[in-house]
Amino acid sequence: MAYETINVDVQGYVSLITLNRPEALNALNSKLLGELSSALEAADENDKVRCVVITGSEKAFAAGADISEMSDKSFVDMMTEKFFTAESDRFNNTRKPIIAAVSGYALGGGCELAMMCDFIIAADNAKFGQPEINLGVIAGLGGTQRLTRYVGKAKSMEMHLTGRFMDAEEAERSGLVSRVVPAKKLKEEAMSAANKIAEKSMLATMAAKDCVNKAYEMSLEQGLAYERGQFYSLFATEDQKEGMAAFLEKREPQFRDR
Ligand code: CO8
């Protein structure tokens, strides 16, 4: 499918999605989020795709939701259009793992988009922020909730109230990103992580993603019980037999997602 605001390049088992609105630093408008939703749906349905990487340009992952698209909207417009609700739900319902490879600005909706991914690999020039307060609004794609869970109240509150940016080093120290790599190596590192994920059993991968995400929804007791149930259920798969047999036979496993 041809897209206008993103590029989709399926490389082996990985769908590499590049946000492509350079004239607006990849600001997220309805068109871009609609196309991103379609690309994620296609990746989820494509048996050959086993992991997704979302990236932007060197200067900007995404500088936020598109301010020119939002500026004239009324409360009623937002409510009746359910602004970005379907796109956000589609994103959160993607079962395959998604890595955000962030270079440059990840601001407002851009920071929130990165946080909607399963983990973030940051380039050393990355800058994260929730500057919506400077526009007279607040985060609306999960920023107040996810950033607070990921970096804690003190930093999240300061960022939401002052609009200050966090650089890559602070983002790694605070637990927002899994690691920081040189900007020139960002795509290579993200693709390498995605390819590593693609080698595993998709059943175990989806169970792991689901359980880690449940850690943000459930009490510890509920989460432990949920994880145990998922762990037990993987013993109904051929991949569990194959993975353990391969270890004992000192060979590489051949997972078949069964
Ligand atoms: N929306 C629209 N256009 C943008 C955006 C944006 N968020 N960010 C940058 N652009 C455009 C600029 O207007 C400019 O266009 P032009 O060349 O036509 O004037 C072009 O991109 C380049 O930008 P700058 O000239 O400003 O580049 P600088 O290097 O000087 O500055 C910054 C880069 C610091 C990133 C600056 O562009 C900036 O501050 N951008 C806005 C950041 C921001 O406030 N983001 C939050 C937006 S609101 C939001 O994200 C809400 C999300 C919740 C949605 C909830 C839905 C339910």
Active site residue 108: no
Active site residue 81: no
Estimate to the nearest angstrom the gap between the alpha carbon of 43 and the chain centroid: 14
pTM of model > 0.95:
yes
Q: What local confidence, expressed as pLDDT, does residue 11 receive?
A: 96
Report the atom number in ligand 1 closest to the C-alpha of 25. 21
Active site residue 143: no
Helix segments in the chain, DSSP class H: 30-45, 67-70, 75-81, 85-92, 109-116, 143-151, 153-162, 168-173, 186-198, 202-214, 220-233, 238-248
**Ranges of residues in the chain whose predicted pLDDT is under 50:** none
All CATH 1.10.12.10 domain ranges in the chain, comma separated: 202-249
CA-nearest residue, atom 37 of ligand 1: 63
Q: What local confidence, expressed as pLDDT, does residue 200 receive?
A: 97
Q: What local confidence, expressed as pLDDT, does residue 1 receive?
A: 73
User: Taking Cα atoms as reference points, which of 91, 11, 21, 107 lies closest to residue 56?
Assistant: 21
CATH 3.90.226.10 fits 6-198, yes or no: yes
Residue by residue, DSSP assigns 147-205 as HHHHH-HHHHHHHHHH---EEHHHHHHTTSSSEEE-GGGHHHHHHHHHHHHHTS-HHHH
Cβ–ligand 1 distance for 107 under 6 Å, the answer: yes
Report the atom number in ligand 1 closest to the C-alpha of 108. 50
* Per-residue CA distances from 62 to 77, 110, 117, 164, 169 (Å): 24, 4, 14, 16, 19
Spatial contact of 233 and 201, defined as CB atoms under 8 Å apart: no
All CATH 3.90.226.10 domain ranges in the chain, comma separated: 6-198
CATH topology of domain 202-249: Lyase 2-enoyl-coa Hydratase; Chain  A, domain 2 (1.10.12)
